[in-house]
Structure 1
Amino acid sequence: MAVSLHGELRSAATRHLREGRRRSLSASASLNLAAEILAVDSGLKPSFLYDYSAAGVEQIQSYLKELQHMGLIQGHLLVLNIAGNILIINVPRAISCLDTLLGSEDLHLIDVSASLEHPVMCSQIQVPQMRSPLLELLDHLQPYQGEKPAMVSVGDIHSPVWNLCTVFGFLLGFPAAYWFDTTRGFENCLSLIPLRHFSVQASCSRINLHRVQLYSFTVPESVYPSMQVHVEDWIERLKQIFNGQSNFTDLQIITNTVTLTAVAL
């Protein structure tokens, strides 16, 4: 049965996501893509940033509809194009995350502006300016909340005046997000800075994949002491959600410290 499902998933990716005459997704990429979408459908993360090919919104919508027809995914998903970046969103889960963020006194923003010698936690003076984009995003998502489970909606936010790195950090469900002053450029101060890397992995029993990466994010070691309790709480909440579903098993959270010559955000 697993072999048959693997073939169906690869065929679906080839039919809907292929770019003209270019090569279609590999077998492993097709299965990983399906598993990442299943993680969103299962509520393990609020959204997923599509980066497997240059497929457009309509192509991804038709692909998701086939996954629904196959019975792999059950809920309503939104394919949202934000300034050329396509996200696949579990709307109720994303709205819940945004509501929690907006109700919090601390957004746990990490300032990585290039003018700094090392990353620092954003001050409370800086935090309010990030609430406006989150409110705008929430307003955009709420009309989709009442859609039927068997639907795949599409939407566009053309040219938001947002720090997309920060917005995506929150929309992807990370416990903290990077921020920098976009009026001064798009560089950052993370080069050669020790970063604590978190990789959240699990086996996907539904697709019979041994290891799928659900989350991958970093926190600078210099600010981790002030973030530790928050990250640990985030992990505990994730474990609770994980225990409430059956598509993934064997949750593992792997941490290590990395130092990179350049970090693209």
Structure 2
Amino acid sequence: MNRISLVYNGKLRKFSAPSAWNELSRKQLYYWCGIIRMRIPVEQAMQAAVMFFYGISIGLLSRLNTSAAYDAQLRLSLDFLMGENTLTKNVIGSVRLFFRRYHGPSNRLANISVGEYRRTELYYQLYLKTGDQELLRLLAATLFRPAGKGGVEDIREPVNEIRINRRARLFRWLNPNWLHAILLYYEGCRGSIIKSHPKIFKPSKQAAEGNGLMDLEDQILAYSGDKLGNFKDTVAINLYVFLKHMTQRIEEYERLQRKGKL
């Protein structure tokens, strides 16, 4: 956490603000998404962030008569907001709409299936390409679901395409700040997953040029069977378990190649 002390009217005032994405509170993430959506210049956005995150009002900031260098230092303390998104903590928890609560996945997307991740990846990539808000709502509707018979580790109802599409239409009335917050949370988790599995998510020429979509369907088909069961069983497996299995198979293949057995 960032902590500062300022003297005003002879009294020492202490303020604190997050220093990393995972230190953001639910309220702070919500308001930061509101600032982003305003599309104001970066300097104004950071000034607004300083006032909100540190809890320093415009009036108090002006009366403190801080130097330009000190103001710049305060903004610099929040520069992580303009850097790589590393948000992997689900500070959103759940969202409420029309008297119903929709629960999100756990931190790091730790309790989602590989089938759910395949679906969210396609929505995410298509949203980045087109900017179509319907795709963002589909992403949110996949991740945030009502409570059901999901089990101990996941209270969300099972993934169901018809219900996801219906919920996406309902999410037209969800506050856009929450939709953007869900996007940032997914984006941070996605980045973490890709970085922690370099043998699986290797940079490709297509990805570098922004052509094509990364679809896990071929990988799911290739690794289904035997230990993981058929395709239907495989898509229901926890994402991290599936990625670990893939990594082990790739490493085994590489060992055999080095030994000249392939």
TM-score normalised per structure 1: 0.25
Q: Which has the larger radius of gyration?
A: 2
Report which of the two has the higher share of strand: 1
Question: Which one has a larger percent helix, Structure 1 or Structure 2?
Answer: 2
TM-score by length of 2: 0.25
